């Protein structure tokens, strides 16, 4: 069995593809540095991530594939951070390269279908973050939102959020992966914090950190949320299906539910 | 923010909640410098109320005082409910602050009729105008056009709003006259016509000048109440299909009647809103808009009402076994769409996937076809299985309709109470 060992970065994956084609030898398994090797590993090739090689592979993909969704599916699936997704993407990219003619989503193929499914799941999660993030205005005028999405989708939400909230400064924080993006009115940059105060663990500001009007607006929104439901048509199952319970701790209208 | 706003918000949200429409789709606008927000083309639902309906826009009334006395409406003049009125500045501040916190996509403003339709319409237009021109609000605005409003006001509303709507409410003029004596079809359809003209005119002007103002870029919508009058599904869907022929009409909403004004004897005393019928109407609506069905294929003189047991497409298929079985690997797109269990997405996926090889049931299942239904209507690359031709339509219906969960126990004597009809 041929094993490629790489650093578990996206650049590393593309470099691995580069070496596979130049060495004309395709791995049966990809492992991260420090992970134990599987049994029967006859040959282990160490992939050293290289920006130039990775760039060349990506450019080649862009030249080869006309349908842009096929490429965005790769980045979306990568951000799912699912355990076996690297090998899946390796096979998928190989199919894209080796196919003669214009490739399209062939859902009859197991790998393509799998990538397509993961892509759908991740874009669904991206949409949910855009739907359910709730900004709280802090005393210093920054809008703060925190949640814990299933997949690492914050980078995917940035185009929408920087366009929508372009004239306010905000901080969007991923509680699970412990990083976030701060937008200063011009551009969004990645931020990490050394210590984790209360609001970076629960996602909620306490009264001293809030803007003077913030509590009032939260109460207004909660009131509106209650008032707009039609009591004759209560449907808890549909409610839960559309707004999964894992988002409730971070939703203003669901506090204390 | 004054505490009175909280009470007003509660009262006016309660009054507005029976309106079904909450779509924020149809307009795509990116951020402009100096303005607030953007509009996402497909619309975003920001929350879901306990009844499972989406909350995308701040759906609110400007006032719930109303001089009309429509039998089906919670805000009718003769109802004794708390009344309130928002000022323009309160509503504008509320919208913008909610928007900045990502609670909503924009504003859906409706109103009770005060003094006369034009006076009311003018006040609603003023809110939209304030939001757009003074505060440079770039999010979504949906304005309700008041029945009987003048053309000039509807036209001005269209310049600020993304979508306009006029509710038909009752699909038949006699019933409308009986339940809402202050309204008639004329007062509903003329604003609708003004909107249609505005949209066409603006499209024409924008061909010549790119800078010409857009008029209600997300078109118009309307709503009908289901179950308040004895109208058949045929008359409802005929009206919808006629409305969809206007290109500006984007959505017709169906609202299952909820018996709120219990004292009014003109209305049926329903214990529960007709939710199944409402759902079937939406399914039929989808068939009209996305599945290339004609209205007479779904409901006609022989079958004036939709089948509540099975969905309209399956019901059509059971009435027309001569179209089936369909060969998945050969049939064209229009025919694939007619198969029960195959939707728009899976029909397109089948078209793509069969370029690479013949498809079998396993792959169809993976693609997302509902094989439970589709299996009786298709042939695939595999050996044939029994289809509707062998089993007969009645047999397929029996297989697909779930029997009632609990059969009545015959040993138990049933007592009927007068209330329990």
Looking at the domain assignment, is residue B408 inside a domain?
no
pLDDT of residue B420: 46
Q: Do B94 and A230 touch (CB under 8 A)?
A: no
Q: Do A225 and B94 touch (CB under 8 A)?
A: no
Q: Do A132 and B273 touch (CB under 8 A)?
A: no
pLDDT of residue B23: 87
Q: Which residues in B49-144 belong to E strands, given as ranges? A: 54-55, 57-61, 106-110, 140-144
Nearest CA in chain B to A238: B52
Long-range contacts of B277-282 (CB under 8 A, 24+ apart): B277/B226, B277/B227, B277/B233, B277/B306, B277/B308, B278/B226, B278/B254, B280/B233, B280/B306, B280/B307, B280/B308, B280/B311, B280/B312, B281/B226, B281/B233, B281/B236, B281/B237, B281/B254, B281/B306, B282/B254
Q: Which of B158, B190, B220 is the last residue of a domain?
A: B220
pLDDT averaged over consecutive 10-residue blocks of chain A (257 residues)? 92 96 92 85 90 95 88 94 93 90 73 91 95 94 94 95 93 94 93 90 89 92 94 91 93 83
Q: How far apart are CA B59 and CA B44, in angstroms?
A: 14
Q: Which of A107-111, B25-29, B47-51, B141-145 has the weakest average pLDDT?
A: A107-111
A137, A224, A241: residue with CB nearest B13: A224
Average the pLDDT over B369-376 and give the result: 93
B14, B18, B38: residue with CB nearest A163: B38
Q: How far is A39 from chain B (nearest CA, A)?
A: 32
Question: Residue B320 sits in which domain range?
Answer: 312-400
- Interface size, chain A vs chain B, as Cβ–Cβ contacts under 8 Å: 156
Judged by DSSP in three states, B225 sits in strand
Q: How far apart are CA B234 and CA B297, in angstroms?
A: 11
Q: How far is B32 from chain A (nearest CA, A)?
A: 9
Q: Do A223 and B10 touch (CB under 8 A)?
A: yes
- B325 and B177, same structural domain? no
Average the pLDDT over B99-104 and give the result: 95
Q: How far is CA B40 from the centre of its chain?
A: 19
Looking at the domain assignment, is residue B197 inside a domain?
yes
CA distances, B88 to each of B36, B61, B127, B399 (Å): 18, 12, 6, 58
pLDDT of residue A37: 85
Q: For position B147, which CATH number holds?
A: 3.20.20
Nearest CA in chain B to A107: B353
CB-based contact (8 Å) between A48 and chain B? no
pLDDT confidence tier of residue B402, bands split at 50, 70 and 90: confident
Q: What is the ipTM, given to two decimal places?
A: 0.91
A160, A216, A230: residue with CB nearest B258: A230
Query: Which residues 6+ apart lie within 8 Å of B313 measured at CB?
Result: B283, B287, B291, B293, B338, B340
Looking at the DSSP bridge assignments, the partners of residue B36 are B137
CB-based contact (8 Å) between A103 and chain B? no
Average pLDDT, chain B: 90
Q: Which of B198, B220, B242 is the last residue of a domain?
A: B220
Burial zone of A99 (CB within 10 Å; 0-12 exposed, 13-18 middle, 19+ buried): middle
Judged by DSSP in three states, A243 sits in coil
Looking at the domain assignment, is residue B406 inside a domain?
no
**Structural contact between residues B142 and B161, judged by C-beta atoms closer than 8 angstroms:** yes
**Structural contact between residues B371 and B382, judged by C-beta atoms closer than 8 angstroms:** no
* 189-248 in chain A: CB under 8 A from chain B: 213, 216-217, 219-221, 223-239, 241-243
pLDDT in tens, B180-200: 988 889 989 999 999 999 999
B102, B256, B258: residue with CB nearest A133: B102
Looking at the domain assignment, is residue B248 inside a domain?
no
Q: How far is B273 from chain A (nearest CA, A)?
A: 8
B31, B35, B97: residue with CB nearest A217: B97
Q: Which of B163, B192, B220 is the last residue of a domain?
A: B220
Average the pLDDT over B145-171 and give the result: 93
Determine the length of chain B: 421
CA distances, A234 to each of A49, A237, B22 (Å): 55, 9, 18
pLDDT of residue B270: 85
Boundaries of every domain in chain A: 2-125, 133-254
pLDDT in tens, B338-361: 999 999 999 999 998 888 888 999
Helical pair B393-400 and B312-319, crossing angle rounded to 10 deg: 160
Nearest CA in chain A to B140: A164
* Cα Rg, chain A, nearest whole Å: 22
A160, A220, A234: residue with CB nearest B6: A220
pLDDT of residue B418: 65
Torsion B9-B15-B16-B20 (CA) sign = positive
pLDDT confidence tier of residue B421, bands split at 50, 70 and 90: very low
Average the pLDDT over B36-41 and give the result: 87
Q: Which of B4-18, B215-229, B258-272, B333-347 has the weakest average pLDDT?
A: B258-272
Nearest CA in chain A to B15: A228
pLDDT in tens, B247-257: 889 999 999 99
Q: How far apart are CA A67 and CA A5, in angstroms?
A: 31
- B208 and B343, same structural domain? no
Looking at the domain assignment, is residue B196 inside a domain?
yes
Average the pLDDT over B29-46 and give the result: 88
Looking at the domain assignment, is residue B415 inside a domain?
no
Name the domain count of chain B.
Answer: 2
pLDDT of residue B419: 58
């Amino acid at each position: 069995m041929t094993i490629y060992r790489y650093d578990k970065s996206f650049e590393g994956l593309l470099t691995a593809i580069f070496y596979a084609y130049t060495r004309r030898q395709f791995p049966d398994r990809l492992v991260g540095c420090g992970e134990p090797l599987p049994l029967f590993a006859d040959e282990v090739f160490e992939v050293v991530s290289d920006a130039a090689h990775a760039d060349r592979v990506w450019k080649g993909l862009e030249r080869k594939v006309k349908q842009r969704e096929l490429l965005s599916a790769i980045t979306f699936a990568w951000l799912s951070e699912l355990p076996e997704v690297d090998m899946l993407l390796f096979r998928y990219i190989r199919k894209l390269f080796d196919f003669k003619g214009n490739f399209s989503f062939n859902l009859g193929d197991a790998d393509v279908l799998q990538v397509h499914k993961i892509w759908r799941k991740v874009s669904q999660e991206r949409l949910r973050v855009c739907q359910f993030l709730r900004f709280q205005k802090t005393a210093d005028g920054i809008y703060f939102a925190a949640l814990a999405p299933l997949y690492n989708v914050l980078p995917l939400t940035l185009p929408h959020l920087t366009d929508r909230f372009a004239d306010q400064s905000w901080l969007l924080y991923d509680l699970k992966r412990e990083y976030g993006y701060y937008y200063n009115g011009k551009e969004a940059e990645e931020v990490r914090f050394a210590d984790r105060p209360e609001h970076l663990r629960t996602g909620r500001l306490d009264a001293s950190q809030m803007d003077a009007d913030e509590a009032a607006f939260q109460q207004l929104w909660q009131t509106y949320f209650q008032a707009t439901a039609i009591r004759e048509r209560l449907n808890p199952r549909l409610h839960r299906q559309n707004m999964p319970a894992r988002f409730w701790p971070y939703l203003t209208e669901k506090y204390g539910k | 923010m004054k505490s009175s706003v909280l009470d007003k918000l509660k009262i006016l949200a309660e009054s507005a909640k029976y309106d079904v429409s909450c779509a924020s789709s149809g307009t795509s606008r990116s951020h402009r410098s100096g303005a607030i927000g953007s509009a996402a083309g497909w619309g975003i639902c920001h929350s879901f109320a306990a009844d499972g309906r989406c909350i995308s826009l701040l759906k609110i009334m400007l006032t719930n005082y109303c001089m009309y006395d429509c039998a089906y409406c919670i805000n009718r003049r003769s109802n004794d409910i708390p009344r309130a009125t928002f000022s323009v500045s309160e509503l504008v501040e509320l919208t913008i602050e909610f928007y900045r916190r990502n609670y909503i996509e924009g504003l859906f403003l409706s109103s009770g009729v005060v003094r006369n339709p034009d006076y009311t319409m003018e006040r609603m237009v003023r809110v939209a105008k304030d939001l757009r021109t003074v505060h440079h609000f770039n999010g979504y605005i949906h304005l309700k056009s008041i029945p009987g409003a003048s053309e000039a006001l509807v036209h001005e509303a269209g310049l600020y709003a993304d979508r306009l709507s006029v509710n038909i409410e009752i699909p038949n003029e006699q019933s409308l006259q009986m339940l809402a004596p202050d309204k008639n079809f004329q007062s509903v359809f003329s604003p609708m016509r003004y909107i249609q003209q505005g949209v066409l005119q603006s499209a024409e002007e924008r061909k010549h000048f790119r800078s010409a103002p857009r008029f209600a870029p997300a078109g118009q919508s309307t709503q009908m109440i289901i179950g308040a009058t004895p109208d058949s599904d045929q008359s409802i869907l005929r009206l919808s299909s006629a409305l969809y022929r206007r290109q500006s009409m984007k959505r017709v909403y169906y609202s299952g009647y909820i018996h709120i004004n219990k004292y009014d004897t003109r209305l049926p005393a329903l214990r529960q809103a007709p939710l199944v019928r409402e759902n079937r109407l939406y399914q039929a609506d989808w068939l009209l808009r996305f599945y290339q069905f004609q209205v007479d294929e779904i409901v006609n003189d022989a079958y004036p009402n939709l089948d509540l047991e099975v969905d309209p497409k399956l019901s059509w298929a059971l009435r027309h076994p001569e179209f089936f079985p369909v060969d998945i690997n050969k049939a064209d797109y229009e025919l694939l769409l007619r198969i029960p269990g195959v939707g728009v997405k899976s029909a397109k996926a089948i078209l793509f996937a069969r370029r690479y090889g013949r498809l079998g049931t396993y792959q169809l299942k993976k693609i997302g076809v509902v094989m439970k239904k589709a299996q009786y209507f298709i042939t695939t690359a595999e050996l044939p299985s029994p289809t509707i031709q062998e089993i007969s339509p009645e047999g397929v219906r029996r297989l697909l309709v779930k029997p009632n969960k609990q059969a009545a126990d015959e040993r138990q004597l049933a007592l009927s109470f007068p209330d329990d009809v």
